[in-house]
Amino acid sequence: MQHGKYRFIVGFLVVPLGLYALFVVWPFIQSIYYSFTDWTGLSPEFKMVGLDNYKRMLHDDVFWKSLQHSLLFALVLPIVTISLALFFAFMINVGGRRRRGGPAITGVRGSSFYKIVYFFPQVLSIAIVALLFQFAYNPDSGAINSLLRGIGLDHVQPLWLGDPSLALWCVMAVLVWSTTGFFVVLFSAGMASIPAELYEAALIDGAGRATTFFRITLPLLWDTVQSGWVYMGILALGAESFAVVQIMTTGPGGPDYSTTVLVLYVYQKAFRDGQAAYATTIGVALLVVTLAFAAIVMRLGRRERLEF
Amino acid sequence: MKTTETPAPPPAEPGASVSKVDVPVSKPGRRKREGTVLNVFSHGVLVIWAIMVVTPLLWAVMTSFKDDGSIFGSPWALPDRLHFGNWARAWTEANMSGYFLNTVLVVGGSLIGTLVLGSMAAYVLARFDFPGNRFIYYLFIGGMSFPIMLALVPLFYVVNNMGLLNTIHGLILVYIAYSLPFTVFFLTAFFRTLPTSVAEAAFVDGASHTRTFFQIMLPMAKPGLISVGIFNFLGQWNQYMLPTVLNTDPDKKVLTQGLVQLAVSQGYKGDWSGLFAGLVMAMLPVLGAYIIFQRQVVQGLTAGALK
């Protein structure tokens, strides 16, 4: 298969690679370079300023708040979402009533129905989800507070997104709502491929359901959980948190910077405040956080791969 | 799922009879009760989450048929009558039709482009050995874990200098570029699983590399293309961050942006029922498509994480 091989390879790679280099790789390289300049983004002139942007960043309270919130997103969201999803997936696959003569482990009735319904939010745009919940959280006429009034809790009327101590959690709850279903389906597929004999053997030996989960299901599912964790963390640091915070919160990022995240801060500095160079500096910090997060999860989660 | 429902002949119960041998007699009864309790508990928990997922969506549908007064006065009350006017207003006055058209154009163009360019690159990277192959592969893969926002700051000016800012074709090119990492990653793995013998036979018979690819390999890769196509379709249809930065012309806005824009402008226009109609309008096609192609969608979206 040598005839014209290189001409073919070049011919097939040049367009995709060129497009990718121009719109993805080149801007990444540029933005790292710009982080050492005083470029405003508004005029084409700029000069090198060395580490000034980085020094400024270290003394920027809003940056530290954003970093803190982003880290919280990357830690709390995957833990909550993945735990919930593992729990639901285990219930779907193992929670079924044992029938006489049937297999020791069965899924609940209607397991495919649950999986279909749980997946709904995943196909919706996060922007639409954010808008929807913004209405639900409205303190005066929103669905949640009026539900609380409806069941007699007239004095429990939080401001939700208007309350600096609650707003961040409200935003996170929306992301949990919208991503849990995806992981339920993902983990269910993994659990379904675990041989039933393993469970049967464990149950015969007197193991409870909880033991089978921690001793059989989780170890055998570990690879999937880990890659799901990285995937969720990257989303929580990047695009998803941008959309929910930018759409739902006042400011955006408020009240009183209580919900600002790194990705939103980059956007605001570049496209609202005309400080493109400083924005790329914060972007570099976000890049470092993202890569560190992925490396830590992969490192901590490394175990011997179990074959079954 | 149906297999779990079939009633089995009563006497045969291998699992329980074995456990009777080495555990006290009371155990099977306790185990059975535990099973029932667990079953009730799991159903309870699962139903609660299902309600939590469906309620906001049904609430949005219901609200889209109400008039403005009752949306705020009594959010949970059923509409007094079906206000279809909300939908008509959203479609024409709020320019949902324009946003739909833009989205269809952008997603249509970029989906085709992504699949064609992605499969070309993936095929070469999967099947041909040449210097730099690994480097190019990892260059593509690396794009999956980098925060896109970092690149967006200079990208805005790159796109602007090329005169592509606020244009449909500019947005298409950017969508393709940012969809390539996952597409190449997924399709490279897929092309590696396909047998080499068919392509070799075609090549021996005198087909060129290009012809072998388009007439032999692409049809063979159809299942992979469908999975990655669905993945990209949903990602591009729901994309919010890229157009927010690169596409700010009100006439060129895509659905997600248009809705957010609409929500912001309701602060002074006050047509909330129209906004809800718009939201539901944007939700329904994707939900409908998902329900119809449920199996393929789930496969397409989970395939990446399982690899």
Quote the ipTM score. 0.84
Nearest C-alpha of chain B: how many angstroms from A278?
A: 10
Q: Which of B174, B239, B240 to probe the A interface (max A CBs under 10 A)?
A: B240
Quick check: is B208 in a domain?
yes
Place of tokens 């090198």: A48
Confidence of residue B301 (pLDDT cuts 50, 70, 90): confident
Is B255 within a domain? yes
Does the beta-carbon distance from A6 to B130 stay under 8 Å? yes
Q: Which residues of B touch A120 (CB under 8 A)?
A: 53-54, 57, 287, 290
Query: What pLDDT, on the 0 to 100 scale, is given for residue B19?
Result: 39
Which of B34, B73, B145 shows the shortest C-beta gap to A290?
B145
Facing B147 at nearest CB: one of A6, A224, A290: A290
Phi, psi of A156 (to 5 degrees): -95, 90
**Shortest CB distance from A111 goes to which of B1, B8, B210?**
B1
Distance CA A114, CA A126 (A): 21
pLDDT at B82 over 90: no
Chain B residues within 8 A of A231 when measuring between CB atoms: 305
CATH number of residue B187's parent domain: 1.10.3720.10
* Virtual torsion, Cα B285, B290, B292, B295, nearest 10 deg: 170
Domain ranges of chain A: 56-300
Q: What percent of chain A has pLDDT over 70?
A: 93
Interface A:B, Cβ pairs < 8 A: 312
Structure-block tokens of residue A188: 């269910």
From chain B, the residues in CB contact with A221 under 8 A are none
The residue among A80 and B5 whose pLDDT is bigger is: A80
Q: What is the number of other CB atoms lying within 10 angstroms of the CB of residue A289?
A: 18
Put simply, whether B279 touches A (Cβ < 8 Å) is yes
Assess if residue B185 is contained within a domain: yes
CB contact under 8 A, A266 and B35: no
Domain-embedded: residue B66: no
Whole-angstrom distance, CA of residue A283 vs CA of residue B82: 48
**C-beta of residue A242 within 8 angstroms of C-beta of residue A262:** no
Predicted confidence at residue A104, as pLDDT, reads: 61
Q: Which of A24, A118, A131 sits opposite B143 (nearest CB)?
A: A24
Rounded distance between C-alpha atoms, residue A59 and residue A34, angstroms: 19
pLDDT band for position A308 (50/70/90)?
low
Reported as a single tens digit per residue, the pLDDT across B161-206 is 888 888 888 999 999 999 999 899 989 988 888 888 888 888 888 8
pLDDT for the residue numbered A3: 58
Q: What phi-psi label fits residue A110: left (phi over 0), alpha (psi between -120 and 50 degrees) or beta?
A: left
Its sign, for the CA torsion A257, A259, A260, A261, is positive
Count of domains in chain B? 1
Instruction: Note the pLDDT of residue B268.
Output: 65
CB atoms within 10 A of CB A59: 8
Looking at the DSSP bridge assignments, the partners of residue A48 are A37
Please determine, for residue B8, whether its predicted confidence score (pLDDT) is greater than 60.
no
CB within 8 A of A114, min separation 6: which ones? A88, A92, A108, A184, B46, B50
3-state secondary structure of A48: strand
Smallest CA–CA distance from A111 into chain B, residue: B1
User: DSSP letter at A43?
Assistant: S
| pLDDT 10s digits, A87-142 | 998 888 877 666 555 666 677 777 788 888 888 888 888 888 998 888 888 877 77
A231 and B75: CB-CB below 8 Å?
no
In a domain, B121, yes or no: yes
Among the partner-chain residues B31, B72, B149, the one whose CB lies closest to the CB of A141 is: B72
In words, the CATH class of domain A56-300 is: mainly alpha
Q: Which residue has the higher pLDDT, B30 or A206?
A: A206
Residues of chain B neighbouring A101 (CB-CB closer than 8 A): 8-10, 12-13
pLDDT-derived band at B11, boundaries 50, 70, 90: very low
What is the extent of the structural domain holding B245?
95-270
